Amino acid sequence: MLKYQELVNTLLDELANGVYKKGDRLPTTPELCERYGVSNTTVKRAMDELELQGIVARRRGSGVYIKETTIAKGITTRQGSTSQQMSGMTAEYEGTPQVLTSEVHDFSVVHPTAEIADKLGMDSDGFAYHICRARLVDGTPKVIEYTYMPISLIPNLRESTLRASIYRYIEDELGLKIGSAHRTIKAVMPTDDERSWLRINEGEPLLEIRQVAYLADGTPFEYSVSRHTSDYEFYSISTR
């Protein structure tokens, strides 16, 4: 792991543990360099990453501050594991009073289309899981996820895992390291099924995020399309 990424994870862990709170000003660059034994360049890159994630805000002539919205979004990290952007919704809501649940609408094995197979680096006559699930916060649907994963790479996936955290299963049970993702975003109109699953009105748009996710060694393990309700906030197109 690169030095600036280690510093990002350290600061996120300290934030989750209450060392820094919303509205706090972070130490100056020289103070961070001395405290964590890193260079000015490492601190700058770490601050750039935290700003990109929407976690801090720079104020000219004043310093770097923890944003008001950070704690409310429930940031938690696991040292040496996925970055905050790649830890998924389960990690996002840990440590908050809000309860995240899942409704599985489809869990099947398919031959992916040639386009999806190409993104996953597999043959189109190979087998992949197809997962369609809704994620709910305090019983309110927030997103519909359509996910493809190669069975050969992610074996023995069960429906009970889909109702919890797939990423946790990949890292903790399979021992694989999740690395990065490339994402594209656009506004779309929902299908009839999506309006029903998300309990939204006709004509209400969704925010669509298409993602190819990679293991730390660069192997693609997931192609997904997530369609979020209009109140969703997203900070970065790509972590790659």
Q: pLDDT of 25-39, one tens digit each?
A: 999 999 999 999 999
Percentage of the chain exceeding pLDDT 70: 87
| Exposed / middle / buried, residue 84 (Cβ in 10 Å: 0-12, 13-18, 19+) | buried
pLDDT value at 144 more than 60: yes
Question: Residue 91 — very low, low, confident or very high, per pLDDT cuts 50/70/90?
Answer: confident
d(CA 55, CA 67): 6
Per-residue 3-state assignment (H helix, E strand, C coil) for the chain: CCHHHHHHHHHHHHHHCCCCCCCCECCCHHHHHHHHCCCHHHHHHHHHHHHHCCCEEEECCCEEEECCHHHHCCCCCCCCCCCHHHCHHHHHHCCCCCCEEEEEEEEEEECCCHHHHHHHCCCCCCCEEEEEEEEEECCEEEEEEEEEEECCCCCCCCHHHHCCCHHHHHHHHCCCCEEEEEEEEEEECCCHHHHHHHCCCCCCCEEEEEEEEEECCCCEEEEEEEEECCCCCCCCCECC
Task: Give the residue with greater pLDDT, 161 vs 20.
Answer: 161
pLDDT value at 71 more than 70: no
Whether this model's pTM surpasses 0.75: no
Task: Give the residue with greater pLDDT, 105 vs 230.
Answer: 105
d(CA 9, CA 36): 12
pLDDT at 102: 94
Range in 200-204, 208-212, 234-238 with the lowest mean pLDDT: 234-238
Question: Residue 54 — very low, low, confident or very high, per pLDDT cuts 50/70/90?
Answer: confident
